[in-house]
Structure 1
Amino acid sequence: MTTAKTTTAPTAPTAPVTHDGPPARFTDLIAAEWLKTWSLRSTPWLYALSALAVVAFNAGTAYDHYKYWYQYDKGSQDFFAHHRLALLDAFTDNAALVLVLALAAIGAVSVTGEYGTGLIRTTFTAVPARRSVMAAKAVVLAAVSTVFGVLVAAASFASTQAFLSARDASVSLGDPGVLQVLAASALLAPVASLAGFALGTVIRHTGTSIVACVAVLLLLPMLLSDRRHLTAVLRHTLPLSGWERLRDGALAQGAPELYPWSEAGAWTVYALWALVAAAVAVCAVHRRDQ
Protein backbone atom coordinates (compact mmCIF):
# COMPACT_ATOMS: atom_id res chain seq x y z
CA MET A 1 0.00 0.00 0.00
CA THR A 2 1.18 3.44 -0.78
CA THR A 3 0.17 6.44 1.14
CA ALA A 4 -0.46 9.62 -0.77
CA LYS A 5 1.37 12.53 0.57
CA THR A 6 -0.52 15.74 0.52
CA THR A 7 1.32 18.96 0.48
CA THR A 8 -0.10 22.36 1.19
CA ALA A 9 1.16 25.25 -0.79
CA PRO A 10 2.47 28.05 1.35
CA THR A 11 0.11 30.97 1.53
CA ALA A 12 1.29 34.50 1.22
CA PRO A 13 0.70 36.60 4.32
CA THR A 14 -2.36 38.72 3.99
CA ALA A 15 -1.85 42.41 4.31
CA PRO A 16 -3.88 44.11 7.04
CA VAL A 17 -7.01 45.75 5.79
CA THR A 18 -6.63 49.46 5.94
CA HIS A 19 -9.02 52.23 5.17
CA ASP A 20 -6.63 54.85 4.05
CA GLY A 21 -8.20 58.07 3.04
CA PRO A 22 -7.63 61.74 3.22
CA PRO A 23 -7.53 63.10 6.77
CA ALA A 24 -10.61 64.90 7.96
CA ARG A 25 -10.55 68.58 7.21
CA PHE A 26 -11.11 71.01 10.05
CA THR A 27 -14.33 72.20 8.41
CA ASP A 28 -15.53 68.58 8.43
CA LEU A 29 -14.81 68.37 12.15
CA ILE A 30 -16.74 71.57 12.77
CA ALA A 31 -19.70 70.23 10.77
CA ALA A 32 -19.59 66.97 12.75
CA GLU A 33 -19.50 68.82 16.08
CA TRP A 34 -22.36 71.04 14.95
CA LEU A 35 -24.50 67.98 14.18
CA LYS A 36 -23.45 66.35 17.44
CA THR A 37 -24.37 69.47 19.42
CA TRP A 38 -27.90 69.64 18.09
CA SER A 39 -28.50 65.89 17.93
CA LEU A 40 -29.40 65.90 21.62
CA ARG A 41 -32.87 67.14 22.40
CA SER A 42 -31.68 68.52 25.70
CA THR A 43 -29.35 71.07 24.07
CA PRO A 44 -32.03 73.43 22.68
CA TRP A 45 -33.94 73.16 25.95
CA LEU A 46 -30.89 74.04 28.01
CA TYR A 47 -30.25 77.15 25.93
CA ALA A 48 -33.94 78.11 25.87
CA LEU A 49 -34.45 77.73 29.62
CA SER A 50 -31.22 79.60 30.35
CA ALA A 51 -32.29 82.46 28.09
CA LEU A 52 -35.73 82.58 29.68
CA ALA A 53 -34.26 82.73 33.19
CA VAL A 54 -31.80 85.52 32.32
CA VAL A 55 -34.38 87.66 30.52
CA ALA A 56 -36.92 87.05 33.29
CA PHE A 57 -34.52 88.32 35.97
CA ASN A 58 -33.84 91.50 34.01
CA ALA A 59 -37.43 92.14 32.94
CA GLY A 60 -38.70 91.44 36.46
CA THR A 61 -36.41 94.08 37.94
CA ALA A 62 -37.48 96.65 35.36
CA TYR A 63 -41.14 95.81 35.93
CA ASP A 64 -40.73 96.40 39.66
CA HIS A 65 -39.36 99.87 38.96
CA TYR A 66 -42.22 100.51 36.54
CA LYS A 67 -44.92 99.25 38.93
CA TYR A 68 -43.69 101.06 42.04
CA TRP A 69 -42.41 104.17 40.28
CA TYR A 70 -44.84 106.52 41.96
CA GLN A 71 -43.92 105.25 45.40
CA TYR A 72 -40.54 106.99 44.97
CA ASP A 73 -40.25 110.66 45.70
CA LYS A 74 -39.51 113.15 42.92
CA GLY A 75 -35.83 113.33 43.82
CA SER A 76 -35.40 109.56 43.54
CA GLN A 77 -37.17 109.50 40.19
CA ASP A 78 -34.97 112.26 38.83
CA PHE A 79 -31.86 110.55 40.16
CA PHE A 80 -32.82 107.27 38.45
CA ALA A 81 -33.41 108.96 35.10
CA HIS A 82 -30.51 111.41 35.24
CA HIS A 83 -27.90 108.81 36.18
CA ARG A 84 -29.23 106.32 33.61
CA LEU A 85 -29.83 103.60 36.16
CA ALA A 86 -31.96 101.87 33.53
CA LEU A 87 -28.63 100.41 32.38
CA LEU A 88 -28.53 98.42 35.63
CA ASP A 89 -31.92 96.93 34.76
CA ALA A 90 -30.80 96.08 31.23
CA PHE A 91 -28.57 93.36 32.69
CA THR A 92 -28.71 92.83 36.43
CA ASP A 93 -26.26 91.16 38.80
CA ASN A 94 -28.58 88.20 39.31
CA ALA A 95 -28.96 87.74 35.56
CA ALA A 96 -25.18 87.74 35.13
CA LEU A 97 -24.83 85.05 37.82
CA VAL A 98 -27.47 82.89 36.14
CA LEU A 99 -25.85 83.39 32.74
CA VAL A 100 -22.39 82.39 33.99
CA LEU A 101 -23.69 79.33 35.82
CA ALA A 102 -25.88 78.12 32.95
CA LEU A 103 -23.33 78.62 30.17
CA ALA A 104 -20.46 77.16 32.18
CA ALA A 105 -22.58 74.07 32.87
CA ILE A 106 -23.47 73.77 29.18
CA GLY A 107 -19.80 74.06 28.25
CA ALA A 108 -18.80 71.39 30.76
CA VAL A 109 -21.56 68.98 29.72
CA SER A 110 -20.63 69.36 26.05
CA VAL A 111 -17.50 67.31 26.75
CA THR A 112 -18.26 65.36 29.94
CA GLY A 113 -21.34 63.88 28.28
CA GLU A 114 -19.14 62.20 25.69
CA TYR A 115 -16.76 60.90 28.34
CA GLY A 116 -19.69 59.57 30.35
CA THR A 117 -21.19 57.62 27.46
CA GLY A 118 -17.85 56.51 26.01
CA LEU A 119 -18.59 58.21 22.70
CA ILE A 120 -15.32 60.09 23.00
CA ARG A 121 -13.46 56.84 22.28
CA THR A 122 -15.32 56.46 19.01
CA THR A 123 -14.60 60.06 18.12
CA PHE A 124 -10.87 59.76 18.78
CA THR A 125 -10.70 56.43 16.96
CA ALA A 126 -12.30 57.95 13.89
CA VAL A 127 -10.17 61.09 14.13
CA PRO A 128 -6.85 60.41 15.89
CA ALA A 129 -5.98 64.11 15.75
CA ARG A 130 -7.41 64.77 19.19
CA ARG A 131 -6.38 68.40 19.36
CA SER A 132 -8.21 69.14 16.11
CA VAL A 133 -11.35 67.50 17.49
CA MET A 134 -11.24 69.58 20.67
CA ALA A 135 -10.50 72.73 18.71
CA ALA A 136 -13.58 72.08 16.58
CA LYS A 137 -15.64 71.57 19.73
CA ALA A 138 -14.37 74.88 21.11
CA VAL A 139 -15.17 76.74 17.88
CA VAL A 140 -18.74 75.41 17.75
CA LEU A 141 -19.33 76.07 21.44
CA ALA A 142 -17.95 79.61 21.22
CA ALA A 143 -20.04 80.41 18.15
CA VAL A 144 -23.30 79.08 19.58
CA SER A 145 -22.80 80.70 22.98
CA THR A 146 -21.89 84.03 21.39
CA VAL A 147 -25.11 84.05 19.38
CA PHE A 148 -26.94 83.04 22.55
CA GLY A 149 -25.37 85.93 24.47
CA VAL A 150 -26.22 88.46 21.78
CA LEU A 151 -29.85 87.35 21.61
CA VAL A 152 -30.27 87.30 25.39
CA ALA A 153 -28.65 90.72 25.83
CA ALA A 154 -30.83 92.19 23.06
CA ALA A 155 -34.01 90.65 24.45
CA SER A 156 -33.17 91.85 27.95
CA PHE A 157 -32.50 95.37 26.76
CA ALA A 158 -35.67 95.55 24.67
CA SER A 159 -37.92 94.21 27.43
CA THR A 160 -36.48 96.29 30.27
CA GLN A 161 -36.47 99.55 28.36
CA ALA A 162 -40.03 98.93 27.16
CA PHE A 163 -41.17 98.95 30.79
CA LEU A 164 -39.06 101.95 31.80
CA SER A 165 -39.97 104.01 28.74
CA ALA A 166 -43.47 104.28 30.16
CA ARG A 167 -41.92 106.25 33.05
CA ASP A 168 -39.60 108.29 30.80
CA ALA A 169 -36.64 106.62 32.51
CA SER A 170 -35.31 104.40 29.73
CA VAL A 171 -32.08 104.62 27.74
CA SER A 172 -31.57 104.10 24.02
CA LEU A 173 -28.90 102.31 22.04
CA GLY A 174 -27.26 105.60 21.14
CA ASP A 175 -26.78 106.70 24.74
CA PRO A 176 -23.23 106.60 26.14
CA GLY A 177 -22.19 103.26 27.55
CA VAL A 178 -25.21 101.27 26.38
CA LEU A 179 -23.38 99.31 23.69
CA GLN A 180 -20.56 98.56 26.11
CA VAL A 181 -22.96 97.04 28.64
CA LEU A 182 -24.66 94.98 25.94
CA ALA A 183 -21.36 93.78 24.48
CA ALA A 184 -19.94 92.89 27.89
CA SER A 185 -23.12 91.00 28.80
CA ALA A 186 -23.28 89.16 25.48
CA LEU A 187 -19.61 88.14 25.48
CA LEU A 188 -19.84 86.91 29.06
CA ALA A 189 -21.67 83.88 27.61
CA PRO A 190 -18.84 82.47 25.43
CA VAL A 191 -16.26 83.23 28.11
CA ALA A 192 -18.24 81.24 30.68
CA SER A 193 -18.97 78.38 28.29
CA LEU A 194 -15.32 78.00 27.30
CA ALA A 195 -14.26 78.08 30.95
CA GLY A 196 -16.72 75.30 31.69
CA PHE A 197 -15.52 73.44 28.61
CA ALA A 198 -11.92 73.54 29.86
CA LEU A 199 -12.86 72.38 33.35
CA GLY A 200 -14.98 69.57 31.93
CA THR A 201 -12.12 68.42 29.71
CA VAL A 202 -9.70 68.27 32.63
CA ILE A 203 -12.09 66.77 35.22
CA ARG A 204 -14.18 64.56 32.88
CA HIS A 205 -17.07 64.18 35.35
CA THR A 206 -20.25 66.20 34.96
CA GLY A 207 -21.13 66.80 38.61
CA THR A 208 -17.60 67.60 39.71
CA SER A 209 -17.06 69.87 36.72
CA ILE A 210 -20.18 71.91 37.49
CA VAL A 211 -19.12 72.25 41.12
CA ALA A 212 -15.72 73.48 39.93
CA CYS A 213 -17.43 76.00 37.63
CA VAL A 214 -19.44 77.37 40.54
CA ALA A 215 -16.36 77.59 42.75
CA VAL A 216 -14.10 79.26 40.20
CA LEU A 217 -16.52 81.54 38.37
CA LEU A 218 -19.05 82.47 41.07
CA LEU A 219 -17.64 81.90 44.55
CA LEU A 220 -14.14 83.28 44.02
CA PRO A 221 -15.36 86.80 43.08
CA MET A 222 -17.40 86.83 46.29
CA LEU A 223 -14.59 85.56 48.50
CA LEU A 224 -11.84 87.83 47.19
CA SER A 225 -12.01 91.22 48.85
CA ASP A 226 -11.30 94.40 46.92
CA ARG A 227 -10.04 96.11 50.09
CA ARG A 228 -6.54 94.58 49.92
CA HIS A 229 -4.16 94.87 47.02
CA LEU A 230 -3.40 91.17 46.46
CA THR A 231 -6.99 89.96 46.68
CA ALA A 232 -8.19 92.92 44.61
CA VAL A 233 -5.73 92.06 41.83
CA LEU A 234 -6.77 88.41 41.94
CA ARG A 235 -10.42 89.41 41.81
CA HIS A 236 -9.75 91.58 38.78
CA THR A 237 -8.57 88.50 36.87
CA LEU A 238 -12.01 86.86 36.98
CA PRO A 239 -14.56 87.24 34.16
CA LEU A 240 -17.48 88.20 36.42
CA SER A 241 -15.39 91.01 37.89
CA GLY A 242 -14.54 92.10 34.34
CA TRP A 243 -18.23 92.31 33.52
CA GLU A 244 -18.89 94.41 36.63
CA ARG A 245 -16.04 96.77 35.70
CA LEU A 246 -17.36 97.27 32.17
CA ARG A 247 -20.90 97.88 33.41
CA ASP A 248 -19.82 100.33 36.10
CA GLY A 249 -17.54 102.08 33.62
CA ALA A 250 -20.47 102.58 31.29
CA LEU A 251 -22.39 104.28 34.09
CA ALA A 252 -19.38 106.47 34.95
CA GLN A 253 -20.42 106.71 38.55
CA GLY A 254 -20.29 104.97 41.86
CA ALA A 255 -17.92 104.98 44.78
CA PRO A 256 -14.25 105.19 43.84
CA GLU A 257 -12.38 101.90 44.04
CA LEU A 258 -9.48 101.50 46.40
CA TYR A 259 -7.53 99.66 43.70
CA PRO A 260 -9.05 100.78 40.40
CA TRP A 261 -8.41 99.11 37.07
CA SER A 262 -9.16 100.02 33.47
CA GLU A 263 -11.86 98.94 31.06
CA ALA A 264 -9.13 97.78 28.70
CA GLY A 265 -7.96 95.48 31.46
CA ALA A 266 -11.48 94.05 31.79
CA TRP A 267 -11.66 93.34 28.04
CA THR A 268 -8.23 91.70 28.29
CA VAL A 269 -9.52 89.43 31.05
CA TYR A 270 -12.36 88.36 28.76
CA ALA A 271 -9.97 87.58 25.90
CA LEU A 272 -7.43 85.74 28.05
CA TRP A 273 -10.03 83.56 29.74
CA ALA A 274 -11.48 82.50 26.38
CA LEU A 275 -8.10 81.84 24.77
CA VAL A 276 -6.52 80.08 27.75
CA ALA A 277 -9.62 77.94 28.34
CA ALA A 278 -9.66 76.83 24.70
CA ALA A 279 -5.91 76.09 24.81
CA VAL A 280 -6.27 74.04 28.01
CA ALA A 281 -9.08 71.97 26.50
CA VAL A 282 -7.13 71.36 23.28
CA CYS A 283 -3.86 70.43 24.99
CA ALA A 284 -5.35 68.37 27.85
CA VAL A 285 -6.34 65.46 25.57
CA HIS A 286 -3.07 65.19 23.65
CA ARG A 287 -1.26 62.74 25.93
CA ARG A 288 -4.08 61.44 28.10
CA ASP A 289 -6.04 58.27 27.42
CA GLN A 290 -9.71 58.39 26.55
Structure 2
Amino acid sequence: MTATTTTTNVPGGEQSTPGRLARFRDLVAAEWIKHRSLRSTWIAYGATALAVVGFNAGVAYDTYSHWVPGDRVSFVRDGISLQEAFTSNAAVLMALALSAIGALVIVGEYSTGTNRMTFAAVPARRSVMAAKAVVVTVVTTVFGTVVAGVSFAVTQAVLDLRDAGVSIGDPGAFRVVLASALLAPVCGLAGLALGAVIRHTASTMVTSVVVLLVLPLFLADGRHWSAVAGHALPYRAWLRLVDVGYSPPAFPWTVGGAWMVYAVWACAACAVAVTSVQVRDQ
Protein backbone atom coordinates (compact mmCIF):
# COMPACT_ATOMS: atom_id res chain seq x y z
CA MET A 1 0.00 0.00 0.00
CA THR A 2 1.35 3.40 -0.93
CA ALA A 3 0.76 6.33 1.40
CA THR A 4 -0.05 9.65 -0.20
CA THR A 5 0.48 13.10 1.22
CA THR A 6 -1.73 15.98 0.23
CA THR A 7 0.14 19.22 -0.43
CA THR A 8 -1.13 22.76 -0.77
CA ASN A 9 0.35 25.87 -2.30
CA VAL A 10 1.47 28.51 0.15
CA PRO A 11 2.65 32.08 -0.37
CA GLY A 12 6.07 32.23 -1.99
CA GLY A 13 5.38 29.44 -4.48
CA GLU A 14 6.52 26.55 -2.31
CA GLN A 15 4.44 23.58 -1.26
CA SER A 16 4.06 22.27 2.25
CA THR A 17 1.88 19.82 4.07
CA PRO A 18 -0.87 21.57 6.05
CA GLY A 19 0.05 19.70 9.23
CA ARG A 20 3.55 21.12 9.17
CA LEU A 21 2.61 24.78 8.73
CA ALA A 22 3.83 26.63 11.77
CA ARG A 23 1.24 28.28 13.93
CA PHE A 24 1.61 32.02 14.15
CA ARG A 25 2.39 32.07 17.84
CA ASP A 26 5.20 29.61 17.20
CA LEU A 27 6.57 31.97 14.57
CA VAL A 28 6.43 34.84 17.05
CA ALA A 29 8.23 32.72 19.61
CA ALA A 30 10.90 31.81 17.05
CA GLU A 31 11.41 35.45 16.06
CA TRP A 32 11.64 36.42 19.73
CA ILE A 33 14.37 33.81 20.23
CA LYS A 34 16.26 35.26 17.25
CA HIS A 35 15.85 38.77 18.60
CA ARG A 36 17.00 38.07 22.13
CA SER A 37 19.78 35.65 21.22
CA LEU A 38 21.93 38.33 19.57
CA ARG A 39 24.08 40.05 22.17
CA SER A 40 24.61 43.01 19.86
CA THR A 41 20.87 43.73 19.95
CA TRP A 42 20.85 44.18 23.71
CA ILE A 43 24.05 46.21 23.57
CA ALA A 44 22.33 48.52 21.09
CA TYR A 45 19.24 48.81 23.28
CA GLY A 46 21.34 49.43 26.38
CA ALA A 47 23.59 52.02 24.76
CA THR A 48 20.58 53.83 23.31
CA ALA A 49 18.76 53.86 26.64
CA LEU A 50 21.80 55.22 28.49
CA ALA A 51 22.40 57.87 25.85
CA VAL A 52 18.78 59.04 25.75
CA VAL A 53 18.36 59.19 29.52
CA GLY A 54 21.80 60.78 29.79
CA PHE A 55 20.90 63.50 27.29
CA ASN A 56 17.73 64.37 29.15
CA ALA A 57 19.30 64.20 32.61
CA GLY A 58 22.21 66.34 31.43
CA VAL A 59 19.91 69.10 30.26
CA ALA A 60 17.99 69.01 33.55
CA TYR A 61 21.22 69.11 35.56
CA ASP A 62 22.50 72.04 33.49
CA THR A 63 19.30 73.90 34.35
CA TYR A 64 19.74 73.01 38.02
CA SER A 65 23.36 74.12 38.16
CA HIS A 66 22.70 77.45 36.38
CA TRP A 67 19.44 78.22 38.13
CA VAL A 68 18.43 81.86 38.43
CA PRO A 69 16.49 82.56 41.64
CA GLY A 70 12.89 83.56 41.09
CA ASP A 71 12.44 81.67 37.79
CA ARG A 72 10.33 78.87 39.18
CA VAL A 73 6.84 80.16 38.38
CA SER A 74 7.57 81.17 34.79
CA PHE A 75 9.68 78.03 34.28
CA VAL A 76 6.79 75.71 35.07
CA ARG A 77 4.13 77.93 33.49
CA ASP A 78 5.97 78.04 30.16
CA GLY A 79 6.26 74.24 30.10
CA ILE A 80 10.05 74.13 30.24
CA SER A 81 9.92 71.35 32.83
CA LEU A 82 8.15 69.15 30.30
CA GLN A 83 10.47 70.22 27.49
CA GLU A 84 13.38 68.89 29.51
CA ALA A 85 11.55 65.68 30.40
CA PHE A 86 12.36 64.42 26.89
CA THR A 87 14.49 66.72 24.74
CA SER A 88 14.48 66.93 20.95
CA ASN A 89 18.09 65.69 20.75
CA ALA A 90 17.16 62.61 22.75
CA ALA A 91 14.14 62.01 20.50
CA VAL A 92 16.28 62.20 17.35
CA LEU A 93 18.83 59.82 18.83
CA MET A 94 16.17 57.31 19.86
CA ALA A 95 14.40 57.54 16.50
CA LEU A 96 17.57 56.85 14.52
CA ALA A 97 18.77 54.08 16.84
CA LEU A 98 15.42 52.27 16.91
CA SER A 99 15.01 52.50 13.15
CA ALA A 100 18.46 50.94 12.78
CA ILE A 101 17.59 48.13 15.19
CA GLY A 102 14.30 47.51 13.39
CA ALA A 103 16.05 47.40 10.03
CA LEU A 104 18.71 44.96 11.22
CA VAL A 105 15.99 42.49 12.22
CA ILE A 106 15.51 41.72 8.53
CA VAL A 107 18.60 43.16 6.81
CA GLY A 108 20.82 41.02 9.03
CA GLU A 109 19.16 37.88 7.69
CA TYR A 110 19.47 38.98 4.08
CA SER A 111 23.13 39.90 4.49
CA THR A 112 24.03 36.52 6.02
CA GLY A 113 21.70 34.45 3.85
CA THR A 114 19.84 32.99 6.82
CA ASN A 115 16.59 34.27 5.31
CA ARG A 116 16.76 31.38 2.86
CA MET A 117 16.74 28.88 5.70
CA THR A 118 13.90 30.74 7.38
CA PHE A 119 11.72 30.75 4.26
CA ALA A 120 12.64 27.14 3.52
CA ALA A 121 11.47 26.12 6.98
CA VAL A 122 8.38 28.34 6.82
CA PRO A 123 7.40 29.06 3.20
CA ALA A 124 4.55 31.32 4.38
CA ARG A 125 6.69 34.45 4.08
CA ARG A 126 3.99 36.91 5.06
CA SER A 127 3.48 35.09 8.34
CA VAL A 128 7.21 35.24 9.03
CA MET A 129 7.33 38.99 8.41
CA ALA A 130 4.17 39.53 10.46
CA ALA A 131 5.82 37.68 13.35
CA LYS A 132 8.90 39.91 13.02
CA ALA A 133 6.66 42.98 13.10
CA VAL A 134 4.94 41.73 16.27
CA VAL A 135 8.25 41.16 18.04
CA VAL A 136 9.63 44.55 16.97
CA THR A 137 6.42 46.28 18.08
CA VAL A 138 6.32 44.67 21.52
CA VAL A 139 10.04 45.00 22.32
CA THR A 140 10.36 48.60 21.12
CA THR A 141 7.17 49.63 22.90
CA VAL A 142 8.50 48.24 26.17
CA PHE A 143 11.84 49.90 25.49
CA GLY A 144 10.24 53.27 24.73
CA THR A 145 8.01 53.09 27.80
CA VAL A 146 10.92 52.34 30.11
CA VAL A 147 13.19 55.01 28.62
CA ALA A 148 10.50 57.70 28.55
CA GLY A 149 9.38 56.86 32.08
CA VAL A 150 12.90 56.83 33.50
CA SER A 151 13.76 60.07 31.69
CA PHE A 152 10.71 61.78 33.12
CA ALA A 153 11.41 60.54 36.65
CA VAL A 154 15.09 61.49 36.58
CA THR A 155 14.67 64.92 35.00
CA GLN A 156 11.82 65.95 37.26
CA ALA A 157 13.70 64.72 40.33
CA VAL A 158 16.65 66.92 39.35
CA LEU A 159 14.43 69.93 38.63
CA ASP A 160 12.54 69.36 41.85
CA LEU A 161 15.72 70.24 43.71
CA ARG A 162 14.89 73.77 42.57
CA ASP A 163 11.18 73.21 43.17
CA ALA A 164 10.64 73.29 39.40
CA GLY A 165 9.69 69.68 38.74
CA VAL A 166 6.22 68.47 37.74
CA SER A 167 4.38 65.21 38.35
CA ILE A 168 2.92 62.80 35.82
CA GLY A 169 -0.52 64.08 36.76
CA ASP A 170 0.21 67.66 35.72
CA PRO A 171 -1.45 68.90 32.50
CA GLY A 172 0.35 67.56 29.45
CA ALA A 173 2.88 65.45 31.37
CA PHE A 174 1.38 62.06 30.55
CA ARG A 175 1.05 63.02 26.87
CA VAL A 176 4.76 63.92 26.72
CA VAL A 177 5.74 60.55 28.21
CA LEU A 178 3.33 58.58 26.02
CA ALA A 179 4.33 60.36 22.81
CA SER A 180 8.01 59.81 23.58
CA ALA A 181 7.44 56.15 24.43
CA LEU A 182 5.47 55.42 21.24
CA LEU A 183 8.03 57.14 19.05
CA ALA A 184 10.18 54.03 19.58
CA PRO A 185 7.85 51.43 17.99
CA VAL A 186 6.88 53.79 15.17
CA CYS A 187 10.54 54.26 14.21
CA GLY A 188 11.37 50.60 14.82
CA LEU A 189 8.62 49.50 12.43
CA ALA A 190 9.66 52.14 9.89
CA GLY A 191 13.18 50.69 9.97
CA LEU A 192 11.82 47.16 9.56
CA ALA A 193 9.80 48.24 6.50
CA LEU A 194 12.75 50.05 4.90
CA GLY A 195 15.00 47.07 5.56
CA ALA A 196 12.47 44.67 4.01
CA VAL A 197 12.27 46.79 0.86
CA ILE A 198 15.90 47.89 0.43
CA ARG A 199 17.65 44.84 1.92
CA HIS A 200 21.08 46.49 2.10
CA THR A 201 22.44 47.74 5.41
CA ALA A 202 24.14 50.96 4.31
CA SER A 203 21.34 52.04 1.97
CA THR A 204 18.71 51.32 4.62
CA MET A 205 20.53 53.37 7.25
CA VAL A 206 20.99 56.33 4.91
CA THR A 207 17.32 56.24 3.93
CA SER A 208 16.30 56.11 7.59
CA VAL A 209 18.37 59.20 8.36
CA VAL A 210 16.87 61.06 5.41
CA VAL A 211 13.27 60.15 6.27
CA LEU A 212 13.45 60.56 10.05
CA LEU A 213 15.93 63.45 10.40
CA VAL A 214 16.67 65.33 7.18
CA LEU A 215 13.13 65.70 5.81
CA PRO A 216 11.68 67.13 9.07
CA LEU A 217 14.42 69.78 9.00
CA PHE A 218 13.98 70.51 5.30
CA LEU A 219 10.19 70.84 5.34
CA ALA A 220 9.43 74.16 7.04
CA ASP A 221 6.05 75.59 8.05
CA GLY A 222 6.32 78.66 5.83
CA ARG A 223 4.36 77.20 2.91
CA HIS A 224 1.20 75.12 2.98
CA TRP A 225 2.51 72.15 0.99
CA SER A 226 5.70 72.06 3.04
CA ALA A 227 3.82 72.28 6.34
CA VAL A 228 1.42 69.49 5.36
CA ALA A 229 4.28 67.24 4.19
CA GLY A 230 6.22 67.94 7.37
CA HIS A 231 3.20 67.18 9.54
CA ALA A 232 3.07 63.70 7.99
CA LEU A 233 6.46 62.72 9.45
CA PRO A 234 6.89 60.92 12.82
CA TYR A 235 9.40 63.37 14.28
CA ARG A 236 7.23 66.37 13.52
CA ALA A 237 4.26 64.53 15.01
CA TRP A 238 6.31 63.98 18.18
CA LEU A 239 7.17 67.69 18.31
CA ARG A 240 3.46 68.55 18.13
CA LEU A 241 2.52 66.08 20.85
CA VAL A 242 5.13 67.23 23.35
CA ASP A 243 4.44 70.92 22.74
CA VAL A 244 2.11 71.47 25.67
CA GLY A 245 2.00 75.26 25.30
CA TYR A 246 1.24 75.07 21.57
CA SER A 247 1.12 78.41 19.74
CA PRO A 248 -0.62 77.89 16.37
CA PRO A 249 1.62 78.80 13.41
CA ALA A 250 0.39 79.84 9.96
CA PHE A 251 -0.69 76.27 9.22
CA PRO A 252 -1.65 74.68 12.56
CA TRP A 253 -2.59 71.07 13.22
CA THR A 254 -4.19 69.17 16.04
CA VAL A 255 -3.03 66.69 18.65
CA GLY A 256 -5.42 64.17 17.13
CA GLY A 257 -3.76 64.66 13.77
CA ALA A 258 -0.35 63.97 15.30
CA TRP A 259 -1.60 60.74 16.91
CA MET A 260 -3.04 59.79 13.52
CA VAL A 261 0.40 60.18 11.95
CA TYR A 262 1.81 57.75 14.51
CA ALA A 263 -0.93 55.22 13.75
CA VAL A 264 -0.67 55.52 9.96
CA TRP A 265 3.11 55.14 9.98
CA ALA A 266 2.96 52.05 12.20
CA CYS A 267 0.21 50.38 10.16
CA ALA A 268 1.77 51.31 6.81
CA ALA A 269 5.19 50.05 7.93
CA CYS A 270 3.70 46.70 8.96
CA ALA A 271 1.87 46.42 5.63
CA VAL A 272 5.00 47.22 3.61
CA ALA A 273 7.14 44.78 5.60
CA VAL A 274 4.63 41.95 5.24
CA THR A 275 3.84 42.43 1.54
CA SER A 276 7.39 43.18 0.35
CA VAL A 277 8.43 39.52 0.65
CA GLN A 278 5.72 38.54 -1.81
CA VAL A 279 6.51 41.01 -4.57
CA ARG A 280 10.25 40.28 -4.59
CA ASP A 281 12.26 37.08 -4.62
CA GLN A 282 14.83 36.27 -1.98
The amino acid across from 1:289 in the alignment is: D
> For 1:288 and 1:54, how far apart are their aligned partners in 2?
37
1:152 pairs with 2:126: no
Gaps of 5+ in 2: 8-15
1:252 pairs with 2:245: yes
* Selected match of 1:287 from 267, 279, 282: 279
Superposed CA deviations along residues 170-223 of structure 1, whole A, max 9, x for unmatched, are 000110110000000000000000001100000001111011000011100000
* Selected match of 2:269 from 243, 266, 277: 277
Aligned partner of 1:32 in structure 2 is 30
Contact 1:84-1:169 at 8 Å conserved across structures: no
1:169 pairs with 2:161: no
Contact 1:235-1:241 at 8 Å conserved across structures: yes
Aligned partner of 1:6 in structure 2 is none
For the residue of structure 1 that corresponds to 2:242, the secondary structure is helix
Aligned partner of 1:134 in structure 2 is 129
Deviation, 1:289, is: 1.2
> For 1:73 and 1:230, how far apart are their aligned partners in 2?
44
The amino acid across from 1:31 in the alignment is: A
RMSD: 1.7
> For 1:229 and 1:219, how far apart are their aligned partners in 2?
19
Aligned partner of 2:187 in structure 1 is 192
Aligned partner of 2:256 in structure 1 is 264
Aligned partner of 1:60 in structure 2 is 58
Contact 1:84-1:170 at 8 Å conserved across structures: no
Deviation, 1:15, is: 8.9
For the residue of structure 1 that corresponds to 2:196, the secondary structure is helix
> For 2:76 and 2:170, how far apart are their aligned partners in 1?
13
Aligned partner of 2:178 in structure 1 is 183
Structure (1 or 2) with the larger CA radius of gyration: 1
Superposed CA deviations along residues 69-112 of structure 1, whole A, max 9, x for unmatched, are 1xx353x4431133231101100010000010000000111110
The amino acid across from 2:38 in the alignment is: L
TM-score by length of 1: 0.90
Quote the sequence identity (%).
Answer: 56
Deviation, 1:14, is: 12
> For 1:77 and 1:174, how far apart are their aligned partners in 2?
18
Aligned partner of 1:107 in structure 2 is 102
> For 2:239 and 2:108, how far apart are their aligned partners in 1?
32
1:238 pairs with 2:233: yes
The amino acid across from 1:264 in the alignment is: G
1:49 pairs with 2:41: no
TM-score by length of 2: 0.93
1:116 pairs with 2:114: no
The amino acid across from 2:185 in the alignment is: P
For the residue of structure 2 that corresponds to 1:252, the secondary structure is coil
Contact 1:84-1:171 at 8 Å conserved across structures: no
Deviation, 1:39, is: 1.2
> For 2:3 and 2:32, how far apart are their aligned partners in 1?
40
Contact 2:57-2:151 at 8 Å conserved across structures: yes
> For 1:160 and 1:169, how far apart are their aligned partners in 2?
10
1:209 pairs with 2:204: yes
Gaps of 5+ in 1: 1-12
For the residue of structure 1 that corresponds to 2:168, the secondary structure is coil
The amino acid across from 1:210 in the alignment is: M
Aligned partner of 2:120 in structure 1 is 125
Contact 2:156-2:165 at 8 Å conserved across structures: yes
> For 2:4 and 2:183, how far apart are their aligned partners in 1?
54
Deviation, 1:22, is: 2.9
